[in-house]
Amino acid sequence: MGNMKFKIAAFADEAAPTLEGQISAMKENGVQALEIRGIDGENVADISGQKAREIAARLNAEGLEVWSIGSPFGKIGIGDDFNSHLEKFRRCLETAYILGAKHFRLFSFYGAEHIEDVLERLSAFVFAAKGSGIVLCHENEKGIYGDTADKCLELHLSLPELRAVFDPANFVQCGQDTKEAWELLSPYVEYMHIKDAMPDGSVVPAGKGAGQLDFLLSRYKGEVLTVEPHLSVFPGFEKLEKEEKSKHATYCYGNSRQAFAAAVSALRDIIGG
């Protein structure tokens, strides 16, 4: 593709659980930005203000930044206690501010049958974030209300402030054609998660599955792409007999650092950078 305009971010917690390990993996692979999710044994939704300040200072010292909060908000049942969830969301907005993150990934709830129930809760998130300068981005996670493109479109039409994180692999896993999804949702896409999958649902490096990444990236007008490896790690893999290896996934890695590097490399192969 030869397009050098993209900045690569990543869920570096898939490379290492610790902040130091994540920094190391990012630098090894030329990744400039972090979509922060798990750090030193805590979810980003649970870290203290003090911890957030320490993380921000450490990343800044390394010339790295936090692109987005890979939050778990909206990943609860529609009937679960929303008030405490919303209160935690408000605290995490403060964390985002401390970390300098301008984007905030969230979801649209499990078990919801009626869009009104979903919109009521998502509207509360949107209202809480008003004036913060932080862009809320809905991810098309499988199993939540907004898992297919038509349902995502409903949400964006009803809540114009809510932008989209486009995840090709999640659409593939829902049986949704990614080109069709793109045609419906491209006006709302804020950024993409780079993850690909086979029709059977197994996650593979970008460009190796049914996600049609070449097509999507040729049309994507954003600046940042977040690598989310989700690749199979099988530590004993190299010790298996050769005939046994062939029975396992084609894309399988000896450890999480190798899987992370492979995921970043696969994206670079597509964008030519």
Residue 1 is assigned to a structural domain of this protein: no
Q: Is the pTM of this model over 0.85?
A: yes
Write out the E strands in the chain: 7-10, 33-36, 38-39, 42-43, 65-70, 103-106, 135-139, 163-166, 189-194, 196-197, 203-204, 224-227, 232-233, 252-253
User: Please, which residues bridge with residue 115 across strands?
Assistant: none
Average pLDDT estimate for 233-240: 64
Q: What is the pLDDT of residue 240?
A: 53
235 has pLDDT over 80: no
Average pLDDT estimate for 39-56: 98
pLDDT (tens digit per residue) in 165-219: 999 999 999 999 999 999 999 999 999 999 999 999 999 999 999 999 999 999 9
Is residue 19 within 8 Å of 62, Cβ to Cβ? no
Number of structural domains found in the chain: 1
Residue 115 is assigned to a structural domain of this protein: yes
Average pLDDT estimate for 258-272: 96
Residue 223 is assigned to a structural domain of this protein: yes
Question: Which residues, in sequence order, are CB contacts of 127 under 8 Å at separation 6+?
Answer: none
Residue 240 is assigned to a structural domain of this protein: yes
246 has pLDDT over 60: no
Closest CA to 28 of 227, 257, 259, 263: 257
Closest CA to 185 of 139, 223, 240: 139
Domain that holds residue 164: 7-271
Q: What is the pLDDT of residue 1?
A: 44
Tell me which DSSP letter residue 210 carries: S
236 has pLDDT over 90: no
pLDDT (tens digit per residue) in 71-117: 999 999 999 999 999 999 999 999 999 999 999 999 999 999 999 99
19 has pLDDT over 60: yes
pLDDT (tens digit per residue) in 122-133: 999 999 999 999
Average pLDDT estimate for 149-169: 98
Q: What is the pLDDT of residue 2?
A: 44
**pLDDT band of 232, cuts 50, 70, 90:** confident
Residue 2 is assigned to a structural domain of this protein: no
Closest CA to 194 of 174, 172, 213: 213
Closest CA to 203 of 137, 165, 253: 253
Residue 256 is assigned to a structural domain of this protein: yes
The amino acid occupying position 199 is: P
Residue 102 is assigned to a structural domain of this protein: yes
Average pLDDT estimate for 135-155: 98
Residue 137 is assigned to a structural domain of this protein: yes
The CATH number of whichever domain residue 209 belongs to comes to: 3.20.20.150
Interatomic CA distance for residues 70 and 59, integer angstroms: 17
Closest CA to 146 of 157, 134, 135, 161: 157
Interatomic CA distance for residues 197 and 211, integer angstroms: 6
Q: What is the pLDDT of residue 128?
A: 98
Interatomic CA distance for residues 186 and 168, integer angstroms: 12
**pLDDT band of 247, cuts 50, 70, 90:** very low
243 has pLDDT over 50: no
Q: How confident is the prediction for the chain on average, in pLDDT?
A: 94
Average pLDDT estimate for 142-158: 98
Say if residue 136 is exposed, middle or buried (CB neighbours under 10 Å; 0-12, 13-18, 19+). buried
CB environment 174-183: b (16+ within 10 A), e (fewer): bebebeebbe
